[in-house]
Amino acid sequence: MILTVTLNTALDLTYRVPALRPHATHRVTDVRERPGGKGLNVARVLAALGHQVTVTGFVGGPTGRVVQERLTAATGIVDALVPVAGTTRRTVAVVDARTGDATQLNEPGPVIAPAEWSAFQEAYEGLLAGADAVALCGSLPPGVPVGAYAVLVRTARAAGVPVLLDTSGEPLRRGVAARPDIVKPNATELAELTGSHEPLRATQDARRRGAHAVVASLGVEGLVAATPEGRWRAVPPARIHGNPTGAGDSLAAGLLSGLVDRLPWPERLARALALSAATVLAPVAGEFDHSAYEELLGRLTVIPEVTAA
């Protein structure tokens, strides 16, 4: 079982409009509603790949009930979300059908009380006993300590469960120092962490700060990775046009899938990037175009940068 943690779960709404223009009224041509937050997106992709997944985090209020109802219908996903008094947030993505660009509006999430954070940590420790790997993903809701991910990384390491961390800002900085197995920032998050805008150098710096392996997503330019086995660059065969929302979550899912399947790093990176690119072609986060994934997987190039990291 793979465990995904989404402390700031959401109900994701995706609106598609012919063209997005500021200060204008828009006619929505398509509406999609899904359980969201980065960890839930990762879980759906993992389940589509055939993995058994358990999801945990916080959920509450009327929006939270909708999230759990949607999860009940999902194949291969077990709901272990922890109830709270507040109401789960909503996120809105407005996709411009002409360009494929998405504009994202994210609510902050419910305020988590100290007793609710303690209850979650107790539930998390219990779930780790049956986990092959764990993903810690996304923002922290108000009330959760900024060092929360560092605490959860250490708990996973003490239980002998490999952990992937995908967050940003101060939670990322503190989480990296707790020595997660994989860190998956995007280029902006990596630069904020290390102060370097050269991705290969920055991934090495992030490893020195504590991460066992660092995989940085570079958007249309693919990814770079610094691992104990070497440094790598993976490049898509062509520019992919579509909705990029959730592409980073699919990248994280591919890395976790490759980890539990014990794939060598080049194969893990190819799987992750193919999933990420195929997600751009799908209408909503947490889904990917299966035929595009299979086709891309055979065409991606993974280039070793050096023989040792």
Residues marked active site are found at 249
Cα torsion for 72, 113, 178, 159, to the nearest 10°?
-50
- For 109, the 3-state DSSP assignment is coil
DSSP category for residue 220:
G
- How far apart CA 27 and CA 161 sit, in angstroms, is 47
Query: Residue 18 corresponds to which tokens in the numbers above?
Result: 């012919």
Cα torsion for 70, 7, 261, 44, to the nearest 10°?
20
Residue 1, classified by CB atoms within 10 Å of its CB into exposed (0-12), middle (13-18) or buried (19+), is middle
Q: How far does CA 177 lie from the centroid of its chain? A: 19
Smallest CA-to-CA distance from 132 within 46, 259, 275 is with 259
- How far apart CA 131 and CA 119 sit, in angstroms, is 19
Q: Packing angle between helix 247-260 and helix 265-280, nearest 10 degrees?
A: 150
Smallest CA-to-CA distance from 236 within 291, 193, 296, 179 is with 296
Smallest CA-to-CA distance from 168 within 116, 111, 83, 106 is with 106
- How far apart CA 211 and CA 301 sit, in angstroms, is 25
Smallest CA-to-CA distance from 94 within 142, 141, 43, 24 is with 24
The residues facing 56 across adjacent strands are 5
Which pairing describes strands 213-217 and 223-227: parallel, antiparallel, or unpaired? antiparallel
